[in-house]
Amino acid sequence: MSMKRTNVYADPEDLALIKDASRRRGIPEAEIIREGIHLAAMANRVWDEPLDWPTFDGTGEPVTKEEIRAEFARRTDQ
């Protein structure tokens, strides 16, 4: 995977936390920063189409694991 270099400004306290985490985890500070960038990118992603979440008809009472599995299986078989 190719990478692109960029410059950002960061709070000194955040950089100190990253430095400590880098030492504890035994990985480069840059890897922690890349993880953070990826998480920020994914958290702000806009999907082209809405997700097709299963819905349930019922009384509003909590559903069981078995009901969820059955509904999911029914929808994936279609």
Residue 7 located in a structural domain = no
- Write the pLDDT tens digit of every residue in 4-25: 999 999 999 999 999 999 999 9
Residue 19 located in a structural domain = yes
- Overall number of domains in the chain: 1
The whole model's pTM is what?
0.59
Exposure of 9 in the CB half-sphere (CA atoms within 13 A): 0
Range of the domain at 48: 12-77
Name 33's Cβ contacts closer than 8 Å, sequence gap at least 6.
18
pLDDT at 57 exceeding the cut of 80: no
